[in-house]
Amino acid sequence: MKFLTKMKTLTAAIAVAATGFIAPAAPAQAEELLETIQRRGKLMVGMSTFVPWAMRSTDGELMGFEIDVATKVAEDLGVEIEFVPTAWSGIIPALLAGNFDVIIGGMSITPQRNLTVNFTIPYANSGQQMAANNDLATGFSMDDFNQTSVNLSCRRGVVGCTILENTFPRANILQFDDDAQAFQEVLNGNAHAVISSAPKPAFWAEGNPERIHVAFDGANLSTGNEGFALRKGEHDALNFFSNWILVHQTNGWLQERHDFWFQGQTAWIDQVAPDQ
């Protein structure tokens, strides 16, 4: 045994002498995101306001479907929750920069986004609707909206803008930093219609029936699947969040919360701060 040990040592010494190469020490393994969250004692969630996903109450507090979801995730992790409000157009770069741990903000899963971030399994499904100006677009068909004389508004960076560009390539697409600005253009008569996730266009129409209606009798222009978004390589966290979704789909919690916010607006609509 001593002889074999000496021979191995000698062989290694000869190899180093001959090549001048010394194998580097194995790199220290980076801490997994879940370990970071638990060590920190806090889950940091990137989000942006979208009624009824996330919004401010008249008291200035965050409320909505996403707020319930993220809060429940943190509770099940045994940590506190911190929301990091972020402009939607820059929310993926902010995630990649490490400003927060995960995006839980009604983000639709698309192939383009998936090139940059990883998505969990879907935890919600949504559709895009249009709210149209009564004077400018009552009775408009799909072809009527697809004219160079038509202005359509949307929130910059959302799937809705892409849907407008693809569905109405001849129309002028006006992009704004938030839904309130995009909607105001329609209310003021500067745009024929605005696109947003259902049921928000219906909320706008209900609040302004003399000036706004939901186009195409409320039919969705598209349907989508929403997932949590994470940085590439965070496999344990991706597995945890996807299984969290699966568990709470199975036990009915996600459906109950979704129904409350998307179908039971009379229970909360008066609590929402204006201009959202």
Do residues 133 and 116 share a domain? no
Do residues 77 and 213 share a domain? no
Rg (CA), the chain: 25
The DSSP element (H or E) to which 236 belongs, if any, is helix 235-250
C-alpha dist (Å) from residue 128 to 55, 74, 162, 197, 200: 18, 29, 11, 4, 9
Provide the residue range defining the domain that includes 46.
Answer: 41-123+227-263
More confident residue, 192 or 29: 192
C-alpha dist (Å) from residue 104 to 36, 71, 164, 206, 221: 18, 10, 24, 28, 23
Do residues 80 and 145 share a domain? no
CATH code, 112: 3.40.190.10
Tell me: pLDDT of 235 over 90.
yes
The predicted-structure confidence for 158-201, as pLDDT tens digits, reads as follows: 889 999 999 999 999 999 998 889 999 999 999 999 999 888 89
Query: DSSP of 249-268, one letter per residue?
Result: HHTSHHHHHHHHHHH-GGGT
Q: Report the chain's mean pLDDT, rounded to a whole number.
A: 89
The DSSP element (H or E) to which 118 belongs, if any, is strand 118-119
Can you name the residues that pair with 176 across neighbouring β-strands? 155
Tell me: pLDDT of 11 over 60.
no
Do residues 55 and 111 share a domain? yes
Mean pLDDT comparison of 50-59, 147-156, 263-272, highest-scoring range:
147-156
pLDDT of residue 156: 92
